[in-house]
Structure 1
Amino acid sequence: MLLWINGPFGGGKTQTAYEILRRLPGSVVCDPEHVGFGLHRMTPPALRGDFQDMASWRQGVYEVLDLALRRHEGVVIVPMTLVEPAYFDEVVGRLRDGAGHEVHHVALLAQRETVLRRLSERGLGRGLKRESFAVQKLDHCLERLRKPLFAEHIHTDRANVPEVADMIAASAGLRLAPNTDGALRQRLRTAWTGVKHARFE
């Protein structure tokens, strides 16, 4: 199964993906941002834009995920914001309908104020300044993701990371190992995941 976790930037996709990875034996996280970062490094800075607009990104993501789904026996988890319908069809739709893979897609949604607070908290002391791209895209992402194309929708305003992981697993028919973390351990785990996967591009 491909488990695609969509949502706005700052919506908790990466935290949730790695929580599922921790509690689902045999699963693997495949992050399409790495393909985009590689393309950016090859491109002169003045020419860099949204790497999702590059056909090479969409094709590369499709090929890597198709390979992973054919050769890896466990669940493939993808935390990635993808809100353009044509791009969504080109990657997710093609994996599902063209290649015949089992694809379960969820979109994590929250109120604008909740997402802004989360972005500020992950700003490494710089607040929202470090997250200007995410803030700029926030309203567009939330508007697009509420559309039926991007269902199933999971609302996360009042849920912590393990609870969101549990909701996704239940919707996908997956059984996660029990979460045995206390509140302090969970905060430390969340902070460490944020540090490991901070975006510096």
Structure 2
Amino acid sequence: MLVWINGPFGGGKTQTAYELHRRLRGSVVCDPEHVGFGLHRMTPPALRSDFQHMPAWRQGVFEVLDLVLSRHDGVVLAPMTLVEPAYHDEILGRLREAGHDVRHFALLAGRETVLNRLRERGMSPGLKREAFAVSRLDECLERLRGPEFAEHVDTERLTVPQVADRVAAAAGLALAPNTDGPLRHRLRRIGISLRHVRFG
């Protein structure tokens, strides 16, 4: 099974994916963003743009996920913002056509809640480092509320473990119990954020 975790930038996709991974034996996180990072590293700076618009990114993500789903005996977790319906169909639709069990979830929350999460993710009071995420926020929230991006998960008043519980229940997955206390949960979230800091 592929569990694609969609949502706005700063919406908790990566945190949710790693919470599921921690509590779901045999699961693996396959982050489609890394395909984009590789394409950017191969491309002169003047030619770089949003890598999702590159056919090579969409084809690469499809091929990697198809390979992993075909050969890995466990749930595959893919945290990635994807708001173009055509790109959604090009990747997830083709994976379904290839016979894979694909589950899609869009994590949604209010604008101010997402902005607060971006501030927390940036480890600083302002949002300077999150300019791209902020510039796309309204578009992401509007598009992801569309029926083509269901199933929707309202994360407004949920903790990361609670979001993971909702996603797992909807996908029919049995998670190990969450035994983290508040301090360990906070430290775990900081660790995941630090491992996914974007530099330039």
TM-score range, shorter chain: over 0.9
| Residue 125 of structure 1, CA deviation | 2.1
Shift of 1:106: 0.4
Counterpart secondary structure, 2:166: helix
Question: Is residue 22 from structure 1 mapped to residue 22 from structure 2 by the alignment?
Answer: yes
Q: Which residue of 1 aligns with 2:7?
A: 7
| Structure 2 counterparts to residues 44-193 of structure 1, below 5 A | 44-96=44-96, 98-125=97-124, 127-193=126-192
Query: What is the TM-score when the length of structure 1 is the normalising length?
Result: 0.98
Contact 1:121 1:127 in 2 (8 A): no
Please report how far the alpha carbon of residue 126 of structure 1 lies from its aligned counterpart in structure 2 after TM superposition: 5.9
Off by >4 Å, runs of 4+ in structure 1: none
The answer as to whether partners of 1:8 and 1:81 remain within 8 angstroms in 2 is yes
Q: Which amino acid aligns with 1:184?
A: L
Aligned residue type for 2:23 = R
What stretches of structure 1 of length at least 5 have no aligned partner?
A: none
Task: Quickly say closer, same or farther: Cα 1:39–1:126, change in 2 above 3 A.
Answer: farther
Letter in 1 for 2:2: L
Amino acid aligned to 2:21: L
Question: How large is the RMSD of aligned CA atoms in angstroms?
Answer: 0.8
- The CA deviation string for residues 25-57 of structure 1, in whole angstroms up to 9 with x for no partner, is 000000000000000011111111000000000
CA distance in 2, matches of 1:109, 1:199: 22
Q: 1:119 touches 1:127 (CA, 8 Å); kept in 2? A: no
The alpha-carbon deviation at position 156 of structure 1 amounts to 0.5
CA distance in 2, matches of 1:200, 1:163: 30
Distance between the aligned counterparts of 2:169 and 2:154, measured in 1? 14
Q: Which runs of 5+ in 2 are unaligned?
A: none
Instruction: State, as a whole percentage, how many aligned pairs show the same letter.
Output: 73
* C-alpha separation in 2, matches of 1:64 and 1:189: 28
Question: Paired residue for 1:38?
Answer: 38
**Normalising by the residue count of structure 2, what TM-score does the alignment of the two structures yield?**
0.98
CA offsets, 1:62-117, max 9 Å, x none?
Answer: 00000000000100000000010100000011101x20100010000000000001
Q: Tell me the secondary structure at the aligned position of residue 180 of structure 1.
A: coil
Aligned mates of 2:199, 2:169 — CA distance in 1: 33
Between 1:125-134 and 1:136-145, the stretch displaced more is 125-134
CA distance in 1, matches of 2:173, 2:184: 24
